[in-house]
Chains A and B, each alone.
Chain A
Amino acid sequence: MSKSRNFLVGLGLFVLVIVCLAIWVNLPLPFVAGLAVLFALWMAFTRRGRQAASVTGVGISTLRDRLGSSAVVVIGIAGVVGVLVALLAMGEGYAETLRKTGSTDTVIVMRGGSASEVMSVLDRDSVVVIPQTAGIARNAKGDPIASPEIVVAANLPVKGGKGADDEGSVQLRGVSEHAWELRPNLKIVAGRPFNPGMRELVVGKGAQRQFAGLEPGHEIKLGNQQWTVVGVFASGDALESEVWGDASVVADTYRRGGSRASVTVKLADPSGFKAFESTLKADPRLKVDASTTLDYFSKQSEGTSKVIRGIGITVGLIMAIGALFGALNTMFAAVASRAREIATLRAIGFRGLPVVVAIMLETMLLALLGGLIGGALAWLIFNGYTASTLAQGSVGQLTFEFRVSPALLWTGVKWALAIGFVGGLFPAVRAARLPVTTALREL
């Protein structure tokens, strides 16, 4: 009889836990704050709440005697949160770098059906026609602000690599004179811009970090040609990982003739994208797709960010299960060692609820501490940590920084509290259901 009742109680608790976790994951911050306030009010102003508070106080005051096993909960959860936040920060940093790239008032035009710039080829006629389309902004001289660009890969020796043959791929962009007007956030931070028609390059700061010999004044080899690096630019986005040269010279080197990969244009009317797109579509001479540069770059990051997120959550979940059982272990041991104390409390009239709340609170406090430590560690070690990968839709190394945002830290704390909740619930219920007489008899 009691066996089946125990089983039913366990099952009920399990269902309750699943439901709570499902709600918890989707709870926005204000709700959590509201809950915390309600709980604090309950602790302060109701009889049961005050009882719970005093029992919790007793539990916390004895924490010092259980330092070793309490540290297991804290450090176990710190480990989970640290790894989770670091992995999510990697995905976030990658996505953020590409999200920051581009704007809503510039449009990239590529050959129809091209998944990315690298795969698009526009013939000479299209390159001439596209800048003449209505709706493009004009500069002081009255020229349309449009930059036909070519994107290719260049092999360059990697920094800190083994010998000259340890090469990596960098994205080389051949641009026209309007490229700078299209990207006002791009600043030359050292040296000067390249001269049109010369074999000169300006390099992004990210590319400079990745590859050897990209200092102004240095010469580098592309194939069998010598090019001179004349400047360094910074833009704080994905373009920083690129190397820029004059479009016609780059096309010449790569034997592309008059074809280009894309044309980037600035809209006269920042909200006129739809109209511009339909004008392009209506032109019988062109078979092109257009999207705002902001959209284009955000889309490029989707696949990779999803993969990194998936990996982060999977690793986090597996670690969380391990930490959860560590917490359960610790709290069961704590309840067992305080069995007489708890039984005494109940013998003098404390009900089950305050006892349950006290033990849950204690675990959640330890978990919160662990979560904060883990988040802080991830932030200290990984915030701004530079990594690079071959980005989807480009042909070069994309350098990006890990970004430990407040939202991610909040996610980490949420996970920590969830682990604390589950890890405290079962031991707490066991403590509350312990028959008073047996517990008191125990040595």
Chain B
Amino acid sequence: MKYLHLIWAALFRRKTRTILTLVSIVTAFLLFGMLDAVRTSFNQAGQSINGAQRLQTGSRLSFIQTLPQGLNSQIAQVSGVKSVAYANWFGGAYQDPHNQVFSFAVSDNYLDLYPEVEVSPQVRKAFESTQTGLIVGEKLAQRFGWKVGDKIPLQSTIFPLRDGSKNWSFDIVGTMKAKDNSAAWYDQLVLMHWKYFDEGTPYNRGTVGWYVTRVNDANQADRVAKAIDALSANSDHETRTQTEQAATASWMKQMADIGLIVGSIMGAVFFTLLLLSGNTMMQAVRERTSELAVLKTIGFSSPSVLAMVLAESILLLLIGGVIGLGLASLLIPVLGKGSGGMLNLPGVTAGSWALGIGFMVLIGLLVGALPALRAMRLNIVDALAGR
């Protein structure tokens, strides 16, 4: 630590070169921060304590097939089940069929199963007493400029009303927002009454898209899931029950192999960075050969010279990396706003910071290794003579 000023002076000996290198490091880690935010948001979806305690029951045949409503009371009887709710996919769109809005028609107790979604008791009350009530995610409301009390039309891209028109009318009774990242997409969701939906369209005929079950004990989840599936075994509506975690993970996997894409891009970026900052360090040490020799002459040991050069390259990476990740945390919310709530990314999480700093130190070590070894093996006499 006491040599910090010495390392610092060595680092900024050539301002232009160091600053240009720093900008490259900053961009690399800015990209890392953003891509890692994407990866985390994909991985975190549904990965919470709540997600492990909730089961989703859908048709074994296909995710668009509906189930009879009578299952509700049967599932509630299964031992280990705390509560059960159900929902349907509404397929809503606002103003234009291509402007799709995530919208569920849900049973009255649906929100009880989602403690991580914040809804005030007044809003719950208003929702219960309004047949055409709608609870909208906070970010979605911002995106479309909806206010509480607005009467809005939503088209269903799947379910026409009895008169054949597609414009359902709703009253916004309040907003909901997620308390943590795992439920982030509730900020983009619309919830309506299942009853209003079912009576409004001739197509649903009292069926249910999927059931959500909360179990008393997450360790019992597998047993309960099997028991629920056993209820409809060999019927014409066989079910498949998974924990919410497993269900979400399976969806994400089908969307895209995000881990692979992010990994390949970062591999290319870090490889380039390694070369670039390595080159800078080599130049820096080559320039200072005679100075290092002087240091050794006045009694610095070989290992301490090695440590100083390594510290210099790690410091270089840390300065650039921290600025880059800092920029990423500033930019991600801006991007989120710019995309009109389409991109809903968590900021740079603690996990990303830890991973990022790990990479900075690792790359710093790799980059510094060669020049530092050269500095350590320096022969004083040759170096001072400029040979």
Contact = CB atoms under 8 A, between A and B. Distances in A.
Interface string B89-101: 0010100011010
A329 B21 CA distance: 7
Nearest to B58: A155
Contacts of A319: 27, 31, 268-269, 272
Contacts of B240: 155, 165, 167
A71 B275 contact: yes
Nearest to A172: B62
Given A325-B24, A328-B20, A397 B254 contact: yes
B120 interface: no
Contacts of B93: 115
B188 to A, nearest CB: 16
A253 B61 contact: yes
Interface in B2-23: 16-17, 20-21, 23
A333 interface: yes
A209 interface: no
B219 interface: no
B157 A114 contact: yes
A280 to B, nearest CB: 17
B74 interface: no
Q: Report, as a range, how many residues of chain A touch the other chain.
A: 35 or more
Interface stretch (A75-83, A99-107, A339-347, A412-420): A75-83
The listed residue with most B CB atoms (<10 A of its CB), out of A115, A121, A165, A172, is A115
Interface string A269-293: 0000000000000000001000000
A318 B30 contact: yes
Nearest to B249: A166
B283 A333 contact: yes
Contacts of A253: 61
Q: Report, as a range, how many residues of chain B touch the other chain.
A: 35 or more
Nearest to B257: A387
B268 A83 contact: yes
Contacts of A34: none
The listed residue with most B CB atoms (<10 A of its CB), out of A79, A167, A329, is A329
A315 B61 contact: no
A137 interface: no
Interface stretch (B80-88, B189-197, B230-238, B307-315): B230-238
A224 B234 contact: yes
A329 B17 CA distance: 6
Nearest to B60: A223
B300 interface: no
Contact of A322 (B24, B65, B234): B24
Contacts of A390: 251, 254-255
Nearest to B20: A329
Contacts of B238: 223-224
A165 B63 contact: no
B157 A68 contact: no
B24 to A, nearest CB: 4
Nearest to A388: B254
B103 interface: no
B234 A72 contact: no
Interface string A24-37: 00000000000000
Nearest to A337: B283
Contacts of A116: 157
A332 interface: yes
B155 A72 contact: no
A168 interface: yes
Given A113-B97, A119-B91, A321 B60 contact: no
B64 interface: yes
Contacts of B129: none
A323 interface: yes
B60 A155 contact: yes
A154 B62 contact: yes
A411 interface: no
A395 B58 CA distance: 15
A325 B235 CA distance: 66
Given A165-B242, A322-B28, A388-B254, 7 more contacts: A75-B275, A76-B276, A115-B93, A153-B62, A153-B64, A325-B23, A328-B20
9 contacts: A75-B275, A79-B268, A86-B264, A115-B100, A223-B59, A315-B31, A318-B27, A322-B27, A389-B255
Interface of A: 68-69, 71-72, 75-76, 79-80, 82-83, 86-87, 113-116, 118-119, 121, 152-155, 165-169, 172, 222-224, 253-255, 287, 303, 315, 318-319, 321-323, 325-326, 328-330, 332-333, 387-390, 395, 397
